[in-house]
Structure 1
Amino acid sequence: MTSEHVRSPCIRARLHSIADFIGAPKDSVVTFSLNDPRDPRNWHSLWKWTMIAAIMPIDFSVSWGASSFSPVAADFAKDMHISNETATLGLSMYVLGLAFGPMTLAPLSEYFGRRPIYVISYGIFLILLLATTFVHSLGLFLVLRVFSGYFSSVTISNFGGTIADLFHHHNTGPAMGLFLWAATGGSPTGFVLFSFIAQGRSWRDVFRMMLAICFVFWIILTTTLFFLGETRHSIILLRRAHSLRESLGDGAVYVPQEAKHEKPSRLFMTVLIRPFRFLATEAIVQFSALYNGYLYGLSFLFNGAFHLIFGPAGYGFDTIGIGLSFLGICAGITLGLLTNIYQERYYQRRLAESQNQSVTESRVHLAHIASAILPISLFIFAYTAHPGLHPVIPVLTSAFWGWSFYTLILMTLTYTEDAYKTYSASALAGIGLVRNVSGAVFPVVGRRLFLSKGTKLSCIILGAMAVVMVPIPWILARWGKTLRRRSPWASEHLEEDD
């Protein structure tokens, strides 16, 4: 059908009638209208937050896949006849899988939609988790752990995209805050929860208990996605265009250029190459990756370090006692969720004052404080985490680390998303790669550090590393706009309204 045919009153009337029926626009380009109910951004708030609530338990369980292993690492080492240091690979290989999953699962969700990737990928993770409980070979166990991490990383790949599907750009803050609370809180809460489950049980029993819990999460997620439907905008528009073409028997119905599917080979090449280009050339991504790598590495390092500090060789706690020592970090991360309410209000106020012009640098407001509190908390922990002092002191100190951890991670993610917008998926993929590779390496290196140097000197070294990164929020606040202007990707969005 040519444009001249579309101008025909008879054809136009037919097109309008069908378009009205299926909710498509009344021309040859299928887009969302201003208040289109099929646009996920126009869903009722109840349905948006129902979707978020269904995905959040899955987000928690991604980190549980790592932290649930730590309380039973000694039993695993005994069962496999290996050293405790080698057993740490059970944690590291899983986190390594998390590093590479988003590189392919993210483009798959762009091509096939969010819903099938959530359901199928997490379903495969459950099968792999079940298989892990039956293996008796260390090599096979580690291979399964890598692939378990790979397929469980579906929320790392998709949750940010789902939030962008559901909320307009300047309203993503609260949902991103909850997503990150689940992502950062998963490791310490998992250690607390599974330390109770692990008491008196084998590592296989603990993994099977986790499988049962995660299976319930998967059922809830699958049911929610079935009833609420797809959220990926391009998939919705492509389906509507296809329905309109079938109804009209005509092929001249299109979707906007940004909603068209690239060839899978080109899509994957872009997704696989661009994150490395961002890491190599973009200062904003480099700063964010440095902070993310350090913070996540430290988070997973603490899984083993707390066992040395609070376990039989330190304060003498049993498995449950070691798990309870993570409550300080849990409390700090939860406090970060609450203080993010202030951060979000500050951002919205600055946005209103600028008449909806870009205020990306407002995202780093609380990070100025967090960057200083992070090394201070580690130095205090270094001098208080020994049996000569009551354990409540280092546990309370770790709460300040937890708050800084959450606040700084949130700053790097929201700042990067605001800076790159259309290209943020590639920027965040590069950051995520560094983050999870560090998370895989730190536990192995950290165990050697704590065993050879002791808690005090090890924490001083880690604190000194945090001191080096204190200037990052200040650099972004002062020169962030200049860095964005020099970026070929961020500069495209510099003058856009938020």
Structure 2
Amino acid sequence: DILTSCLRTCTSSIYTSTYTQITKEFECSRLVATIGLSLFIMGLGIGPMLLSPLSEFYGRRPIYLVSFTMFFVWIIPSAVAKNIQTMLIARFFDGISGSAFLSVAGGTVGDMFNREQLQFPMLIYTASPFVGPSIGPLFGGFINQYTTWRWTFYMLLIWSAGNLAAIALLVPETYHPVLLRDKAVRKRQETGDERWRAPMEKTNKSIPRTIAFSLLRPFQLLLLEPMVTNLCLFSAILLGILYLFFGAFPLVFQGNHGFTLSQTGLSFLGIFVGMVLGAATDPFWHKNYVRLIQQREEATGEVGGSEPEYRLPPAIAGAVLVPIGLFLFAWTTYASVHWIVPIIGSAVFGMGMSVQRRWGEGGMGAHAGRTCMYVVQTSLTVLERRTLLVFSGIFTFLVDAYPLYAASSLAANSFARSSFGGTY
């Protein structure tokens, strides 16, 4: 899941390094070429609306296999495109196909770990979609400086083929209702007793009705749950800012400091380092979470109780770091200032996004939590270390607060983030 999520988001950002070559070959403006990035991100936001509910019927593994196969297939038209129209269409459908691991994967994490164990796995899941956008320009810079833009997509094809093989061979089914259904089927085959029925086999839910309701639920959460609305809006703005960096870095480092394309790609390492530092703060936030639970036990006498809001302190810290990082970057973009200073600013921003995302999933009440989780799953990428703190908190809060509608809340979040990311 981690490698695949990185690949999906890397595919979105690595495209930005091809602009110079494809605008010349396809005789289009840079603005038209940028539409390929926007369409991919919007596809990432639309896809979870359909894929998340389907996973409730067929399980996680079939969705992974089908969607990733289509993701692999839609890279091919991008690699061999003869005009910009082909590129844009392929990018949109590639985004839809690649959205499964940004939505359904969050449900897989929830399937495998209980609430007490959720923190670190969710941090890793949260960080992986953010690492991808930061390493995309790094790889793309070297590829497009020393060879043709088509090798950008050839590299993605090779990476995708390896991931697809790993999914087919190593990824099991984790969705508990589907596992119970499969067990009931085996029991009926072994004993001939038709009374063996899993709970999901006793429901009368239809796939079209479920999909229609799942398309409605994210918007219900966004409009009717203030906490979901605020957290999703915050994460959406952060993602939009992240994609603004893809346009700002070439202007700052190539225009003001004379960087080459590959050196500009290396400048994104600041964001990557920031996210790593944000992830490294996990032990501190976990210790704080345990302390809050202990205080609650002493006050109420209830053992093992928790509140979704206990997941939010990292997001609060990240909310402070994000504007500091942006301020540092914005005020040091001049040629007279050493190039390392704006890179440090981008790293601070990335760290803040990381923390907010991870811990945002942990907390609010059951209904609010489900809503938040639905909204969070539909989002996409973040930039620096502070940003990582923000998203980590948001995602964890949503999962903890809305356990029954985790996939839906994450889908709503993904939709909001992708909408902002695609339009910025």
- TM-score, normalized by the shorter chain, greater than 0.5: yes
Q: 2:170 aligns with which of 207, 212, 224?
A: 224
Give the unaligned 5+ runs of structure 2. Answer: 298-302, 353-386
Q: Which whole-Å CA distance do the structure 1 matches of 2:213 and 2:205 have between them?
A: 10
Q: What is the alpha-carbon distance in structure 2 between the residues aligned to residue 89 and residue 258 of structure 1?
A: 44
- Residue 410 of structure 1 aligns with an amino acid whose one-letter code is S
Q: Following the alignment from structure 1 to structure 2, what is the Cα–Cα distance between the partners of residues 373 and 351?
A: 26
Q: Which one of the candidate residues 185, 190, 203 is aligned to 2:149?
A: 203
The residue that corresponds to 2:73 in the other structure is 127
* Bigger Cα Rg: 1
Query: Residues of 2 paired with 1:159 and 1:279: CA distance?
Result: 21
Q: Are positions 1:243 and 2:186 aligned together?
A: yes
- Gaps (5+ residues) in structure 1? 1-54, 443-498
Matches within 5 A, 1:451-490: none
Matching residue within 415, 421, 424 for 1:433: 415
Q: Secondary structure at the match of 1:358?
A: coil
Q: 2:332 aligns with which of 354, 369, 384?
A: 384
Indicate conservation of the 8 Å contact 1:96/1:440, yes or no: yes
Equivalents in 1 of 2:328, 2:123: separation in Å? 28
Partner of 1:85: 31
CA distance in 1 between partners of 2:137 and 2:406 (Å): 31
Map 1:290-439 to 2 at 5 A: 290-311=233-254, 313-353=255-295, 354=297, 355-404=303-352, 405-439=387-421
Amino acid across the alignment from 1:320:
S
Shift of 1:261: 7.0
- TM-score normalised by the chain length of structure 2: 0.87
TM-score normalized with structure 1 length: 0.74
CA distance in 2, matches of 1:433, 1:87: 23
Alpha-carbon distance change, 240 to 421 in structure 1, aligned in 2, over 3 angstroms:
same
Partner deviation per Cα, 1:421-480 (whole Å, 9 max, x = no partner): 1122222211110101111111xxxxxxxxxxxxxxxxxxxxxxxxxxxxxxxxxxxxxx
Count of residue pairs the alignment pairs up: 384
TM-fit CA distance, 1:195: 1.5
Q: Is 2:197 aligned against 1:254? A: yes
Give the aligned partner of residue 370 of structure 2: none
Deviation at 1:346, TM superposition (A): 1.8
How is 1:133-212 mapped onto 2 (pairs within 5 angstroms)?
133-212=79-158
SS at match of 2:402: helix
What amino acid does structure 2 have at the position aligned with 1:414? T
Counterpart Cα distance in 2 of 1:338 and 1:95: 28
Contact 1:284–1:416 (Cα < 8 Å) also in 2:
no
Which residue is 2:362 aligned to?
none
Whether contact under 8 Å (2:38, 2:423) holds in the other structure is yes
Could you tell me whether the CA contact under 8 Å between 1:238 and 1:259 is conserved in 2? no
Contact 1:237/1:259 (<8 A) preserved: no
Contact 2:53 2:210 in 1 (8 A): yes
8 Å CA contact retained: 1:62, 1:186: yes
CA contact (8 A) 2:77 2:86 kept: no
RMSD of aligned Cα (Å): 1.6
Structure 1 vs Structure 2: percent identity of aligned residues?
A: 31
Distance of 2:291 and 2:348 partners within structure 1: 27
User: Take 1:224 and 1:318, find their aligned partners in 2: how far apart are those partners?
Assistant: 40
